[in-house]
Each structure stands twice: as C-alpha cells, then as structure tokens.
C-alpha cells in the first residue's frame, strides 16, 4: 500500500500540479520551446515515481516470498531512482519558480531551500550515502509545502482569471 500511495498516486498528483504550472506558464506567454525542459523534467519525475511504485510492488512480493537477494537489489534500485526523481523535481521547481507563472513571493522563497535540500537528498539516495539520508527529513516537508502551495496559487489565479472574464 505504501508504494501505491507514496510513489504511485503521489507521483501522478505531483505530475498534475507540475503540469498545471507549465500550463500557467504557457498561458502567461512562455513558448513551447522554453517549456520543453521543465516539462521533460516533470515527466521524468512522474515516470520515475511510477517505476518506483512497480519496483516496490515487486520488492514487497520478493519480501513475502523470502527472496532476500532480490529484496536488496530492488531496494537499492528504488532508492537510487528516488535520487533521480529528487534531482528532476529540484530542477523543475527552480525553473518554475524563476521563469514560470508568477508564484507568491513566499513560495518563491521556499523554492531555494527546497531545491537545495532536494539536491542534497537526491545525491544521498542516488549514491546510497547513508550519512546524508537525514536531508530527506528536510526536503520532504518542503516539497509538500511547495507542491500544495503551488497548486493553491495556480487554482486561485485560474479562478480569478475566469471570474474576471465572465
């Protein structure tokens, strides 16, 4: 259940929020060429998250059948993919905060520690560096705050635009 919710559902929902941010940037006048990089990074993060979900389900099956060798390999793969996902999210969030739709100042300010902590925790997971594992405890709450705040900001902006044109 953990892999389905944390990697599967949450990964897809992250993609939805990032997609809306990219759409808002497009509506704000950004060209498709300018949006190609953050769109690719967002897609990468979603694909990696869904891949982690599938690998996690195989890991769970291996654990319940007592296949210890497969468990270790699958756990390492899931963790390394987490590093790739964190680096992709850090780059996409930084781009969207700087050049994307106008986000509130507080959310732009949160992007700096978010990106730095995601880079650190992404490196830790990618290299399986246990000494830096604690950085996930910083990047996790910041990511939840940033994604939630970005979703609310884009929704509010869209509703204002719709009510202003009606």
Give residue-wise pLDDT tens across range 100-148.
Answer: 777 888 999 999 999 999 999 999 999 999 898 899 999 999 999 999 9
Dmax (CA) of the chain: 61
Query: How many structural domains is the chain composed of?
Result: 1
Distances, alpha carbon 8 to alpha carbons 79, 91, 99, 158, in Å: 15, 21, 28, 27
Segment 71-80 shows an average pLDDT of 93
Give me the domain span that covers residue 7: 2-165
Structure token pair of residue 116: 């730095």
What is residue 27's predicted lDDT score, i.e. its pLDDT? 84
**Could you tell me the pLDDT band of residue 158, with boundaries at 50, 70 and 90?**
confident
Encode pLDDT of 3-56 as tens digits: 999 899 999 998 998 888 888 888 888 888 888 888 999 999 999 999 999 999
């Amino acid at each position: 259940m953990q892999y389905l919710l944390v990697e599967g559902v949450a990964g897809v929902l992250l993609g939805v929020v990032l997609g809306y941010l990219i759409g808002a940037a497009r509506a704000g006048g950004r060209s498709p060429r300018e949006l190609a990089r953050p769109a690719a990074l967002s897609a990468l993060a979603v694909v990696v998250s869904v891949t982690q979900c599938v690998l996690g389900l195989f890991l769970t099956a291996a654990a319940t059948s007592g296949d210890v060798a497969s468990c270790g390999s699958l756990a390492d793969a899931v963790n390394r993919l987490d590093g790739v996902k964190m680096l992709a999210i850090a780059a996409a969030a930084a781009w969207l905060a700087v050049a994307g739709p106008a986000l509130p100042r507080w959310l732009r300010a949160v992007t700096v520690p978010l990106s730095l902590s995601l880079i650190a925790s992404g490196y830790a997971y990618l290299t399986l560096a246990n000494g830096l594992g604690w950085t996930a405890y910083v990047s996790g709450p910041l990511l939840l705050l940033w994604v939630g705040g970005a979703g609310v900001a884009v929704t509010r902006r869209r509703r204002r635009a719709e009510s202003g044109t009606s």
